[in-house]
Structure 1
């Protein structure tokens, strides 16, 4: 089985910084089901790690192209019954939940593009540093799906209702690094190729702070800000499952694979 995720620990002040590198070696870092599992396991590996205060997540030349529509296991969803489909669809929210719930401060270094599930993962982190020539995009609705993985409430906290609707509903619109910064979707813009260096510089500052105070502050802020997220998005998986059964979803995916404009009919 290919290893898509590597972890390096013991860096920075008192060895309190860790790096998680996601690299499928394909230039686009698509999120296959196996990649989702490996990234989830990477986050969970820090659960009892008292020596790490900050985790930087980076994705080689690009952050992620989102869910891998060409992956064989991913394609098998179309033949699953509803029960099996619901279980399989929990891989995504399980991933973002694992990263969101980490005690350590998490920082995403975004180069290239950050699309769909990649954006859902990015907004589950504490901070995001984005290269000036990179972009984000949320194409789910354009594929006949809904944006899930509990990303809508997380985006809402970051950029507000109108911008969240703009980002999610206007599926073909790219969000540039400057726009993302102005909206509050990312906290820092770096020169091209320097997002990781900037993320590490931020990590150094965080790692120099008292670890217990940092962890408790993160927990308090997250509990207050995200108290109603589960209530707001408890139907995420079922909405996604329902949308995946529509003709519009089949048309959206077919159009994407055939590189043409989709024709949606609301059914």
Structure 2
């Protein structure tokens, strides 16, 4: 499908930042077609070397995303259940493994919608947001990585409390729990996310990519192995032109012009 044929995803650029918008109001349900278009948009962003950061947001006032399309659940079998969640995981993993993603959260953020938010690097939520993983109330569990990413973010005990009970958190509670990194008044999440993404985009892209990798992969390693990874990734940057430019710009008291090599 060509970009011109997307009906549930919008993609635009603001300087070196890609703004990726879920556009399936009023609830922005993550239907199969929306996921297909999201996957195509992520691939396009990954291939565009001029884009250095992503802002993920959603259209409408009611919801960021109120979950997956539950109409597909009654007919699921064990095999089709595996196929369903593996598709979502692959798309969310592709987003998580690419360029830095700042997520602007508002309204309802439920189920698969929250799992998409968890796949982002940094989450900015409005105070009136409602976030949760209510899947156990439907007889299932979060299947797009939610059990794993939430536990790594807020700890196993808190993840169990939220997932087993299906409890919803306000934006303020999500911030206090560590589920989101920044809390802003209603209507300000997108502006705040763009500001942060543009700040990231001005930094050396290879350094940003290696720093993100060091954090993400290091979490899965022992402290010693994580530090070895950090050393390796630091050494890779030592011979880059961007490192030379960064140091030179600092000593000359000017803005660095990073080129990504």
Q: TM-score band (shorter)? A: 0.7 to 0.9
**Residues 33-81 of structure 1: CA deviation (Å, up to 9, x unaligned):** 11112112222222222211110000113210001113xxx25x61x65
Are 1:32 and 2:26 counterparts?
Answer: no
Are 1:204 and 2:195 counterparts?
Answer: no
What is the match of residue 90 of structure 2?
Answer: 94
Are 1:7 and 2:3 counterparts?
Answer: no
What is the match of residue 237 of structure 1?
Answer: none
**Residues 73-96 of structure 1: CA deviation (Å, up to 9, x unaligned):** x25x61x65434432332221221
What is the match of residue 130 of structure 2?
Answer: 135
Structure 1 residues 43 and 227, CA, compared in 2 at 3 Å: closer, same or farther? farther
CA RMSD of aligned residues (A): 1.8
What is the match of residue 185 of structure 1?
Answer: 179
| Partner-residue secondary structure (3-state), 2:45 | coil
**Residues 122-168 of structure 1: CA deviation (Å, up to 9, x unaligned):** 01100000011111011111110012212222111211111111111
Structure 2: segments with no counterpart, 5+ residues:
223-261
The answer to whether the 8 A contact 2:136-2:163 is kept is yes
What is the match of residue 44 of structure 1?
Answer: 43
**Residues 181-211 of structure 1: CA deviation (Å, up to 9, x unaligned):** 1111101111101110111111122112111
Of the three residues 105, 108, 115, the one matched with 1:113 is 108
Structure 1: segments with no counterpart, 5+ residues:
229-267
Task: Give the superposition deviation at 1:2.
Answer: 6.0
Taking structure 1 as the reference length, the TM-score comes to: 0.76
What is the match of residue 253 of structure 1?
Answer: none
The answer to whether the 8 A contact 2:85-2:144 is kept is no
- How far apart in 2 are the matches of 1:85 and 1:137? 21
What is the match of residue 53 of structure 1?
Answer: 52
| Partner-residue secondary structure (3-state), 2:103 | strand
Q: Comparing both chains, which one has the higher relative contact order based on Cα–Cα distances under 8 Å and sequence gaps of 6 or more?
A: 1
- How far apart in 2 are the matches of 1:119 and 1:81? 24
What is the match of residue 249 of structure 2?
Answer: none
What is the match of residue 20 of structure 1?
Answer: 20
What is the match of residue 64 of structure 2?
Answer: 63
- Structure with max Cα Rg: 2
- How far apart in 2 are the matches of 1:119 and 1:224? 24
**Residues 91-125 of structure 1: CA deviation (Å, up to 9, x unaligned):** 221221111111x1101101111000011010110
- How far apart in 2 are the matches of 1:180 and 1:37? 29
The answer to whether the 8 A contact 1:37-1:91 is kept is no
- How far apart in 1 are the matches of 2:211 and 2:6? 37
Number of residue equivalences? 216
